[in-house]
Structure 1
Amino acid sequence: MRRPAALITGAAKGIGRQIAVTLAEKGYDVAVNYHTDRNAAEEVCREAESFGRRALAVYADMSQIKEIKDMYSQVDQAFEGIDLVVNNAGISSEVYFLEAEEADFDRMTAIDWKGLFFSSQEAAKRMIGRGIKGVIINISSNQVDGCWPRATIYGPTKAAVSKFTKNAAMELARYGIRMAAVAPGYTDVGWAPDDIRWEAAARLPFGRFASTREIAEAVAYLASEQAAYVTGTTLTVDGGATLPVVAANDFV
């Protein structure tokens, strides 16, 4: 019997790494996309293989359409079909609106938005061609709902991801393909202890950041049969970070 196969983009580290490992643990063969760190991707593959799964490290710059197509061709050769694609690859360069340059805009939107769009298209075409009622999950951000400084490119780009998820889900439903998104908030991806971002943790309702495992479990849920009637939605996993008007724990 054929095991389900998943492709996870940007899976050499951080959230993507944990998604790949969690999916392998839950029974998927995995293709681990990387851009700069092949050694890290191969380490993820070894961890996935420890669960008895097949794993493939596959290179692609997700801003380049040709490389995306080449990546899918390699996955075609390794697996009998793709049941799940997690579009996780992205960059979050921080730049103030008045200081942003065209190169900042082009690079971020090319990876976080254009690359995700065409990765989804390649995945959907393959699922339709093989009659696979698969799932495509896009990693968005809670910055769709909240506003942070130096995110006037990143935030709107992630808003495009969430809107795309709705539109594409509507078109793909006739083929039995589901599309959904996960919108993480601050997530502990191994920042240094003195990283200034840790200062935000105390201001969140739960007083901590998410673990990468918590994000990965949200992805696994959306990919599962338990979510078979869920499509076109974005699941925010941010510990309620965008709920308070003023982020503080000293409620009166």
Structure 2
Amino acid sequence: MKRKTAIVTGASHGIGQAIAVALAKNGYDIGINYCNNLRGAEETRRLVEGAGASALLLQADVGSYESLSAMFKQFDAIFDHLDLMVNNAGVSEFHPLLEVTEAQWDRVTRIDWKAAFFGTQFAAQRMTATGKGGVIVNITSNHIDGCFPNANIYAPSKAAVDTFCRNAAMELAPHKIRVVSLAPGYTNVWSDDNPIQLVRDRIPLQRFATPEEIANILVFLASDACAYLTGTRVTVDGGALLPVVPENDMNGGSLLPLQIHETEEHK
């Protein structure tokens, strides 16, 4: 029986690396995409192979159509099928709206949105050709629903990917291809002295996710247990977007004591 195969973009560190390793532990051989971080990609390969899977390093700038196309051809030279595509690569840049440059807009949109679009297209072409279908998971963000400071390019790019997932799922369903959006919230990929750590206690679960937690959810979404799930989004953010009104955001995110006011009819 053939082992399953997957491509994970942006797999040289963080969530992407954790996804590659988790998939390797669950029967997948992995195409490990990276752009510049060769050392990180080699570490991912070591971990993947340590889990008993085959690993192929795939250097590519996924925001470039030509580079992405070449990456898939490199994968095709080694593997004759693709079961799972994980469009994870992205950049998180935050700039005030009045100061955004065209270069910044192009960079974030190209890597966060264009790469997911054509990564989905190239993967679906291969899944359709084999007639066996497959699964495509696009990593988005809880920025889709929240409004975060200076996320003027990043949030709309992730929202575009999320909407695209639903369109792609509808069109690819006859080909037995499922398309799902996975939206992490705060995930602990930062150093302990990073100022972002200050928001930890304002999250209802009062901690960040680990990359491994996000990866384990992705493995589940790609599994046969979710065979009837497509065209939807799974948000994993510890409830970070729940305290949305000012009263809920006081006292470090804790709810104010509930005050019940008697009315004449309840006396």
Query: Quick check: TM above 0.5?
Result: yes
Q: Which residue of 1 aligns with 2:63?
A: 63
Letter of the structure 1 residue corresponding to residue 32 of structure 2: V
Instruction: For 1:27 and 1:192, locate their aligned partners in 2 and report how far apart those are by CA, in whole Å.
Output: 31
Q: Which consecutive residues of structure 1, in runs of 5 or more, have no partner in the other structure? A: none
Deviations 1:58-92 (A, max 9, x none): 10101100000000001111112110000000001
Q: Per-residue deviation at 1:175? A: 0.5
**Identity across matched positions, percent:** 49
Instruction: For 2:132 and 2:156, locate their aligned partners in 1 and report how far apart those are by CA, in whole Å.
Output: 32
Structure with greater Cα Rg:
2
Instruction: For 1:179 and 1:193, locate their aligned partners in 2 and report how far apart those are by CA, in whole Å.
Output: 35
Q: Which residue of 1 aligns with 2:254?
A: 249
1:73 aligns with 2:73: yes
Deviations 1:129-153 (A, max 9, x none): 0112200000000000001001011
Q: Which residue of 2 aligns with 1:109?
A: 109
Contact 1:204 1:249 in 2 (8 A): no
Instruction: For 1:251 and 1:223, locate their aligned partners in 2 and report how far apart those are by CA, in whole Å.
Output: 40
Q: State the Cα RMSD in Å.
A: 0.9
Q: Which residue of 2 aligns with 1:212?
A: 211
Partner of 1:235, secondary structure, is strand
Partner of 1:244, secondary structure, is coil
Instruction: For 2:188 and 2:254, locate their aligned partners in 1 and report how far apart those are by CA, in whole Å.
Output: 20
Q: Per-residue deviation at 1:249? A: 2.2
Q: Per-residue deviation at 1:250? A: 4.4
State the TM-score, normalized to the length of structure 2.
0.92
Instruction: For 1:204 and 1:35, locate their aligned partners in 2 and report how far apart those are by CA, in whole Å.
Output: 32
Q: Which residue of 2 aligns with 1:6?
A: 6
Partner of 1:180, secondary structure, is strand
Number of matched pairs: 251
4+ residue runs over 4 A deviation: none
Instruction: For 2:132 and 2:83, locate their aligned partners in 1 and report how far apart those are by CA, in whole Å.
Output: 7
Q: Per-residue deviation at 1:174? A: 0.4
1:227 aligns with 2:226: yes
Instruction: For 1:208 and 1:51, locate their aligned partners in 2 and report how far apart those are by CA, in whole Å.
Output: 28
Q: Which residue of 2 aligns with 1:52?
A: 52
Q: Which residue of 1 aligns with 2:137?
A: 137
Q: Which residue of 2 aligns with 1:28?
A: 28
Q: Which consecutive residues of structure 2, in runs of 5 or more, have no partner in the other structure? A: 258-267
Letter of the structure 1 residue corresponding to residue 229 of structure 2: V
